[in-house]
Amino acid sequence: MMEDTGVNPNIIAYAIVIDGLCKGGKLEIARDLFNQLPSKGLQPDTQTYSIIIGSLCQGLTEDAKVLLSEMEKSGCAPNSATYDVMIQGFLKRNELQNAMPLMEEMYKRGFLVDSSTASMLLDQLQGKGKDDILLELIKKVVPKDKDLFGKI
């Protein structure tokens, strides 16, 4: 790659390549490259972790949960985008039981979900009936948007 030409890419360059690989359906290659970062003297940042986690949430949600745990152990804090991609992945797979603890964690860290995740949560609520626990959790993490809250 670029190292062969004497250019040493930084984490931003690797994140761009990893994102392109993920979007191109090359998740395994992206994961391999991600896993090589420490040997190149680079520590994955929140953005890089979130890219891989988001791709894993397209079907490998257990792997995404493991990577989130590894992310935190490495000292890299997830941000609201990290939680949003995970919650959306779980909701797309009808895994509300996995999404709810993440929403609690978001709330504890002071994050709100984005509008896309909020809409998915509200759709889940309508599909399940007015579950009081879910409703209270949604009220904590969904931005106070008139259009969104009109659905509750």
Q: What pLDDT, on the 0 to 100 scale, is given for residue 12?
A: 92
How crowded is residue 101: how many other Cβ atoms within 10 Å of its Cβ?
12
DSSP class of 78: P
Q: What CA–CA distances, in Å, run from 102 to 23, 64, 133? A: 24, 12, 14
Q: What is the mean pLDDT of residues 25-34?
A: 94
* Sequence ranges of the domains in the chain: 1-78, 96-152
Residues 61-104 have pLDDT tens digits of 889 999 999 999 999 999 988 988 898 898 888 888 888 888 88
Residues in the chain: 152
User: How crowded is residue 147: how many other Cβ atoms within 10 Å of its Cβ?
Assistant: 9
CA atoms of 21 and 116, how far apart (whole Å): 24
What is the pLDDT, as a whole number, of residue 3? 57
Predicted structure pTM score: 0.79
| Count of alpha carbons within 13 angstroms of residue 140, beta-carbon side | 18
